Every structure is written in C-alpha cells, then in structure tokens.
Amino acid sequence: MRGEEQPFGRLWRRPLQAFAVLFIAVALSSGSAVAQDDCGGAGTRFAQTVPPAEVDAMYDRYIVPTPGKVYWDGLILAAGKIRWDNPDRAPLLLIGGGIDLIAEAKMTEAMFEKQKRAPSKTELKIYPDRSHWTCTEPGWEEVADFALDWAGKNVRAQTRGAEV
C-alpha cells in the first residue's frame, strides 16, 4: 500500500543503531528483565559532551533502568506497517543533535523525509553541536523554548467530543 513501509527496513544499514537494537535484544533474556547501560557507555555514547568528571553524577541522577517489556513491545508491536501519509497524524516536530551518536542526525533527517508525507505540518530542527543528551546540556533551555513555541503555534483545534 502506498505510504506504508516496514519500520526496521533500513536499520541494519546503520551500524550504531543496529548495535543498540542488538544490545537490547541480547541483553534481555525475558520481557521482565531490566535494561540499563553502564556508566562508561553513557559517557561515551549519548552523553559524550558531558565533562568526564561529571558523567557519574549525571548518570546517577538521570539514567533510569527500563523494563525490558518496553523494548520487546516496541520490537514486536511495531513490526507492522507504518502509514507515513496518515491524514490523521498530529503536527510533528523532529529535533536532533548534530553529534548525537544514538539517533544520528542523518537518521532523524531520514525520518523527517518519511513523516513529511502526511498532510499535517512536519518540521525538522537539528542542533549541530548537541548530543543525545540535549535536554541536560548547557543551553537546553533554547531547545525547550523552541519546542514549546513550536507546539503552541501548531496545536490542532480539538474536535468537539474528542478525548485528549
């Protein structure tokens, strides 16, 4: 069907993202397992802009163990088709970091190219000097303000009787 595609079709062409999925799949022996990256990985993969002396404290403050069920449900339940031209999709802002090692900017840009097929507004904002840790890096307020302003300008009117 036009506008539909398998969600993981190009993942394996992106080694870093494929490694992340493989880590999750191998590390979790069951859906009840808990996934948590080690502190060293946090400092080198998604918080590489954090000064080394601050990584442990930031890791302890912000990293939350995640139930494996979240990942397995994502892999299993998302295995169907995605309708990129969905006429009911809400406006969408994709934000990426130019030095993000987890969700690389080129991956976010590729997602934007697919998502903009929907008739609703779709925009992309890449912050060249930001990592995956964007919302905790100095100057995070700029990103938050941009996202809040964008959301305020692009909120859809609620249909009478519709639930939020």
* Distance, CA of 41 to CA of 47 (rounded, Å): 9
What pTM was estimated for this model as a whole?
Answer: 0.67
In the chain, the amino acid numbered 163 is: E
Closest by Cα among 8, 31, 34, 32 to 21? 8
Question: How confident is the model at residue 156, as a pLDDT?
Answer: 78
What residue has token string 């609620």? 158
What residue has token string 């309708």? 83
Question: How confident is the model at residue 85, as a pLDDT?
Answer: 93
Successive 10-residue mean pLDDT values, the chain, 164 residues: 49 52 52 55 74 82 70 63 88 94 91 95 96 86 96 78 51
Q: What are the residue ranges spanned by the domains of the chain?
A: 11-77, 85-154
Question: How confident is the model at residue 7, as a pLDDT?
Answer: 47
